[in-house]
Amino acid sequence: MSRASSRPPSPPAFRTLTEIRARRRGPGLTADDWADAALWSLVDGVDALSVERLARALGVTKGSLYWHFEGREALLRAALARWEQLATGDVIRRLEQLPTPRERLSQLLSVTFEPGPVGRIEVAIAAAAANPLIQPVLARVSRRRIDYVVALYREMGLSSREARSWALQAYSTYVGLLHLAIASPDTLRSARERADYLQHLSRALMPP
C-alpha cells in the first residue's frame, strides 16, 4: 500500500463562489459550477435559491444558466445530485482505497468531525427536509452513509445488531455536532479543545 493511499480522504471539494466567479474569465461556467453555487445559496434557506440572485452573485446573465438547465427546479436537482456525489459517493470511494475497516472508520471520523464551511451546506439541506425535492435525496444519503458505517463495524467483527447501534450512534453524533457548530460555534472555544474532543469521539466510536 502506497503512502498516498493511506492519507485521509479530503473533505468534499465544492467550489467556492470566489472560485466560480474566477472561471468567468476562463472556460466559462459549467453545470457543476452552477450546482456548487446553488448549494452555497441554500445556506440562506431553500427560498434563497433564485436564478436571478445567483446570476448577479456570479456576475453573469441568467442566460448562462439556461445553457445547462431548464430553470430553478432543474438547478436544485443538480445541486442535490452534486452534494450526494461529492459528500457521500466520492468519500466512500476514497475510503475504500484504505486497507482495513478500522483504518477506514478512523479516517472517516477524522474527516466528518473536522469543522469546515461545507458543514453549513449539510445543515441547510437537513433543515429543508420537508421540501419534496430534498427529502428523498436526504433520506437516500443518510441511509447510504449509515449502511456504509454499519458495514465497517460488521467487518470489524460486530454482530448486525451491534453494528447498527454503533453506526446510528456515530451518525447521530455527526449530525448533532454539525448543528452545534452552527447554532453555538463558541461551544468548543479553541483549536486545542476541539482537537481533544475529536480524539475523545474517535475513541468512543471505535470498538475495542
Grid coordinates belonging to 66: 439556461
Q: For position 149, what pLDDT does the model report?
A: 98
Cβ neighbours, 10 Å, residue 129: 12
Domains of the chain as residue ranges with CATH: 4-204 (1.10.357.10)
Q: For position 12, what pLDDT does the model report?
A: 61
Q: Treating both helix axes as pointing N-terminal to C-terminal, what angle do 101-112 and 191-204 enclose, rounded to 10 degrees?
A: 150
Q: Is 165 left (phi over 0), alpha (psi -120 to 50) or beta?
A: alpha
Q: For position 103, what pLDDT does the model report?
A: 94
Q: For position 11, what pLDDT does the model report?
A: 54
Low-confidence ranges of the chain (pLDDT < 70): 1-13, 24-27, 114-116
